[in-house]
Amino acid sequence: MTNFTERGPTGLLLPRYRPDGDRTHPPLLSPEYGSTVLRAPSRPLALLPQRLTEITGPLLGADRLGPLDHDLTRQHEDEPLGQRIIVHGQVRDGDGRPVPGTLVEVWQPNAAGRYRHAVDNWPAPLDPNFTGVGRTLTDADGRYRFVTVQPGAYPWRNHLNAWRPAHIHFSLFGRAFTQRLVTQMYFPGDPLFFQDPIFNSIPDPAARQRLVSRYDHSVSEPEWALGYEFDLVLRGRESTPFEDGDDDDD
């Protein structure tokens, strides 16, 4: 979204949002994705200026990270079940420059496709050694790295015989909680893309493919883990599609 101004009823110039004008990001209202009908805003979006609360709020620095936050396979006493994977990439701005010090968070279901969440009760097993949540900061070159397990597909009742493709949720924070972008990473060759309204809500088919990670054999470790690369571009022509809202379990 791009900031601009318009005159309010008193004649003052007021900050507002307007779409970037491309076909990269999904619309707020995508009727085939059922829950957007209930949650899409019915009024124009308004820019909320940063006030003292945002400026003096919690800092998102390295001192808030735990030593195993980036490795979802070592956060419990034993290892989780499933195919171990390494997910890495770079966060870049619209000019291709790396973005260092960005807080990157991930969350995902386990290898059976089940979230550790109170309302996720479909009959797939929970894994006592997998919570499915991680976070890290990008380094000086804007790079991040997670170790986790391959997530499973799961049913979600959006339409008849609806299954979500395997995916990992990504959240990127700037320097305040109001500076947040949310997206999803998919895996190459997934047979469920054709019926997933979240993936297909992105108008441009080429932009959809920017949500699909790339298998990276150079990062795969022999007899230990497969590697996947997923870069995140914040703005511009090659921007990663981001969600305008946040739905933790979809």
Strands 103-107 and 133-137: antiparallel
Instruction: Check whether 77 has a pLDDT greater than 90.
Output: yes
Q: Is 228 tagged catalytic?
A: no
Q: Indicate the pTM of the whole model.
A: 0.85
Instruction: Check whether 2 has a pLDDT greater than 80.
Output: no
Average pLDDT over residues 110-116: 97
Q: pLDDT value at position 237?
A: 79
Average pLDDT over residues 230-244: 86
Q: Which of 33, 144, 154, 228 is catalytic?
A: 154
For the chain, state the CA radius of gyration.
Answer: 19
Q: Which of 70, 92, 114, 115 is catalytic?
A: 115
Q: pLDDT value at position 246?
A: 42
Percent of the chain surpassing pLDDT 70: 82
Please give the residue that has the higher pLDDT: either 35 or 150. Answer: 150
Rounded mean pLDDT of the chain? 86
* Cβ within 8 Å of residue 56, ≥6 positions away: none
- Domains of the chain (ranges, CATH numbers): 34-40+49-118+126-233 (2.60.130.10)
Instruction: Find out whether 132 and 146 touch, Cβ atoms under 8 Å.
Output: no
127-161 residue pLDDT tens: 999 999 999 999 999 999 999 999 999 999 999 99
Q: What's the rounded Cα separation, in Å, for the pair 177 and 241?
A: 20
Q: Which of 25, 70, 135, 167 is catalytic?
A: 167
Give the residue among 103, 65, 66, 71 at the shortest CA–CA distance from 84: 71
Please provide the DSSP assignment of 125-166 as one string.
Answer: ---TT---EEEEE--TTSEEEEEEEPPPPEE--SSTT-EEPS
Alpha-helix residue ranges (DSSP H) falling in the chain: 35-39, 52-55, 197-200, 205-208
Using DSSP, state whether 53 is helix, strand or coil. helix
Instruction: Check whether 115 has a pLDDT greater than 70.
Output: yes
Q: Is 115 tagged catalytic?
A: yes
Q: pLDDT value at position 44?
A: 79
Q: pLDDT value at position 248?
A: 46
Instruction: Find out whether 179 and 173 touch, Cβ atoms under 8 Å.
Output: yes
Q: Which of 25, 164, 208, 210 is catalytic?
A: 164
Distances in Å between the Cα of 69 and the Cα atoms of 131, 172, 226 are 11, 15, 19
Structure tokens at 112: 């059976």
Instruction: Check whether 88 has a pLDDT greater than 90.
Output: yes
Angle at 22 between CA 18 and CA 28, to 5 degrees: 60
Q: Which of 169, 186, 210, 228 is catalytic?
A: 169
Instruction: Find out whether 100 and 234 touch, Cβ atoms under 8 Å.
Output: no
Q: pLDDT value at position 7?
A: 54
Q: pLDDT value at position 180?
A: 81
Structure tokens at 230: 């997923």
Count Cα atoms within 13 angstroms, Cβ side, for 175: 6
Structure tokens at 99: 């973005």
Q: pLDDT value at position 129?
A: 97
Q: What band does 249 get if pLDDT is binned at 50, 70 and 90? A: low
